[in-house]
Amino acid sequence: MVHLSRRTVLLAGVAWAVTEPVPNNVHAQDGSRPSLPIPAELRAGAGGTIRLDARLGSMQFVGDRKTATYGINGFYLGPAVRVRRGEKVVAQVSNNVPETITMHWHGLIIPGAADGGPHQVIPPGKQWQTELAVDQQAATLWFHPHSYPATAQEVIRGLAGLLIIDDEESDRLPLPSRWGVDDIPLIIQDRRFTPDGQFFDRMNYIAVTNGYVGDTALVNGARYPQARTARGWIRLRILNGSNARSYALAASDGRSLYVIGSDGGLLANPVELKRLLIHVGERFEVLVDGRDGRAFDIVTLPVTQDIMRLPPFDGPLSLVTIRPEGADGTGQLPSSLAVLPALPRQLPPMSQELVMNMFRDQQGMMPLKTAGLMEMVKSGKTDPAVVARVVSLIVTDPVLSPTDQLSANGVNGKSFSIERMDFAAARNRDLRWRISEGNDLMLHPVHIHGCQFRIISRDGKPPEAERAGWKDVAPISAGGATEILLRFPHPANRDAPYMAHCHILEHEDSGMMTQFTV
């Protein structure tokens, strides 16, 4: 039995009438804007089973062209699976797309055999069933395929969804929690389309070094949609579900974003920000004050990834309009949220180093330098000639052979191999790991399976307040290093090891992943 709440709208292939690019920072007043699709909530029914069906779909993203998509229980993306701490559910995943997939529960602390990593393959037409015993605090997690080396393409097509954990502690807080009313999921992704309206997807040197570069922002699968919400405090559950792009989020009218939760759960106290940087794979829960009933946009500002500053991401770009125009909301912003254990004064000894390597940096970056990208970014002015040259590299640079793709990146000097176990981690013990990068200076949001961790330091300094809570993604960049404190409560054996990898999916699919047992 599956309960669908009344307010929710399935992510379905509803056509809409966006025909021209929407200008930045303009509130369109006409009715031609799509509504923000709210993924349906999906809870385990009496039988305790959650059924996810990966299937083919089609959507209209550009004009009247139909884009072939993948979706989970729908045409694009998936439902918001909701589980409670203490609950044991059976997840049953059917693969009805024409390629092998897996289904990974990103951020869920479960044994390797249930994790849905690259070893738990689901061939086309087959099913995979696994028990998920939920024992961690309330959090906004997500699920997505983890097929090696095809995660990037499967996510581009639309396979991903939210996995929300509820618990008693968070129930006791007066947080906005009416789904689609004042508790609003925002899955942010960027895509590029081919002239015939299909998802652009090309694994060339530009992609394996820079990651996927879209030119269209989607929120829950819609272009610049608008959400009508309660008038009051609004909770945004934000997932950066893009393959490679970071976003610097802000409200168009400068109102504050109060971060209440990070990847693995609530923070100790809200963190008030005007600009929130979110990397791929990361989630933040944010409260915004909509008691004035005035509409505003969530915009993204330019980020430090050079290639991600191509238009329309070269200035503030509106992602979604929030219209707090409905009935009065009842949610509040509490001043304290959750108890976060303090980091131990005596840290455990360093037990693992993870160095992200890019072996083909030159091949990917030189053409961009020659095209003038870095100069352009430094100048702060968009030059259409440079943009045209860079875009042409993105779309025409030759596709790599499988061997070239799989050896382009690595961890600790080696590209990923599904046969090789790279190390073993101790179970049920506090561990300290250090994550850094080799000679490249690029951003790598590094994700580790089987745990929620705490960031001890980044480049020798304490983490930003919004990253001081439970995390499963740790960013490194500019030659820096991040130290984390982690613990694995469950086993992961040789047949079902955990992964640690860069969550830039094109890096992951080209070797920047390592596997380990617990």
The verdict on 231 binding Cu ion (CB under 5 A) reads no
The tokens describing 74, both together, are 């729908």
Q: Which C-beta is closer to ligand C2O: that of 329 or that of 450?
A: 450
Q: 């929690």: which residue's tokens?
A: 177
Task: Identify what 501 binds: Cu ion, ligand C2O, none; CB under 5 to 8 Å per kind.
Answer: ligand C2O
Determine the Cα–Cα distance for residues 204 and 207; give it in Å rounded to an integer.
5
The verdict on 245 binding Cu ion (CB under 5 A) reads no
Q: How many CB atoms lie within 10 A of CB 374?
A: 15
Q: How many CB atoms lie within 10 A of CB 131?
A: 13
CB of 472 to ligand C2O, least distance (A): 8
**Out of 33, 51, 55, 106, the residue judged to bind Cu ion by CB under 5 A:** 106
Q: Which C-beta is closer to ligand C2O: that of 458 or that of 501?
A: 501
The tokens describing 330, both together, are 């009842």
Q: Which C-beta is closer to ligand C2O: that of 235 or that of 449?
A: 449
Task: Identify what 507 binds: ligand C2O, Cu ion, none; CB under 5 to 8 Å per kind.
Answer: Cu ion
Q: Which C-beta is closer to ligand C2O: that of 331 or that of 450?
A: 450
**Out of 40, 266, 435, 504, the residue judged to bind Cu ion by CB under 5 A:** 504
For ligand C2O, the binding residues (CB under 6 A) are 104, 106, 144, 146, 281, 447, 449, 499, 501, 503
Q: Which stretch binds Cu ion (CB under 5 A): 98-106, 119-127, 173-181, 249-257?
A: 98-106
Do 474 and 455 touch, CB atoms closer than 8 A? Answer: yes
CB of 131 to ligand C2O, least distance (A): 20
Q: Which C-beta is closer to ligand C2O: that of 139 or that of 499?
A: 499
Do 300 and 313 touch, CB atoms closer than 8 A? Answer: yes
Rounded (10°) angle between helices 384-396 and 361-371: 150
Number of residues that bind Cu ion (CB under 5 A): 6
Residues 6+ apart with CB under 8 A from 204: 397, 398, 399, 400
Do 223 and 197 touch, CB atoms closer than 8 A? Answer: no
Q: Which C-beta is closer to ligand C2O: that of 119 or that of 503?
A: 503
The verdict on 163 binding Cu ion (CB under 5 A) reads no
Determine the Cα–Cα distance for residues 203 and 243; give it in Å rounded to an integer.
12
Task: Identify what 146 binds: Cu ion, ligand C2O, none; CB under 5 to 8 Å per kind.
Answer: ligand C2O
DSSP conformation letters of 110-130: --GGGS--TTS-B-TT-EEEE
CB of 144 to ligand C2O, least distance (A): 6
Q: Which C-beta is closer to ligand C2O: that of 352 or that of 363?
A: 352
Residue 425 identity (one-letter amino acid): A
Determine the Cα–Cα distance for residues 119 and 28; give it in Å rounded to an integer.
47
Q: Which C-beta is closer to Cu ion: that of 43 or that of 283?
A: 283
Task: Identify what 165 binds: ligand C2O, Cu ion, none; CB under 5 to 8 Å per kind.
Answer: none
CB of 234 to ligand C2O, least distance (A): 26
Q: What is residue 264's three-state secondary structure?
A: coil
Going by C-alpha positions, the residue among 483, 449, 455 that lies closest to residue 467 is 455
Question: Where in 443-502 is the site for Cu ion (CB under 5 A)?
Answer: 444, 449, 502
Determine the Cα–Cα distance for residues 74 and 95; give it in Å rounded to an integer.
13
Task: Identify what 144 binds: Cu ion, ligand C2O, none; CB under 5 to 8 Å per kind.
Answer: ligand C2O
CB of 507 to Cu ion, least distance (A): 4
Q: Which C-beta is closer to ligand C2O: that of 104 or that of 231?
A: 104
Alpha-carbon distances, residue 423 vs 322, 354, 415 (angstroms): 47, 11, 14
CB of 413 to Cu ion, least distance (A): 15
Do 331 and 174 touch, CB atoms closer than 8 A? Answer: yes
Adjacency order of strands within the sheet including 226-228: 226-228, 317-323, 296-301, 247-251, 276-278
Going by C-alpha positions, the residue among 64, 35, 315, 41 that lies closest to residue 164 is 41
In the chain, helix, strand, coil percent, each to 5?
15, 35, 50
Q: Which C-beta is closer to ligand C2O: that of 360 or that of 503?
A: 503
Q: Which C-beta is closer to Cu ion: that of 8 or that of 436?
A: 436
Report the residue count for the chain: 518
The verdict on 144 binding Cu ion (CB under 5 A) reads no
CB of 504 to Cu ion, least distance (A): 4
Q: Which stretch binds Cu ion (CB under 5 A): 222-230, 314-322, 330-338, 439-447?
A: 439-447
The tokens describing 210, both together, are 């820079």
Q: Which stretch binds Cu ion (CB under 5 A): 101-109, 155-163, 283-291, 485-493?
A: 101-109
CB of 361 to ligand C2O, least distance (A): 23
* Element housing 83 (H / E): strand 80-84
Residue nearest to ligand C2O (CB): 106
Q: Which residues of this chain interact with Cu ion, rule CB under 5 A?
A: 106, 444, 449, 502, 504, 507
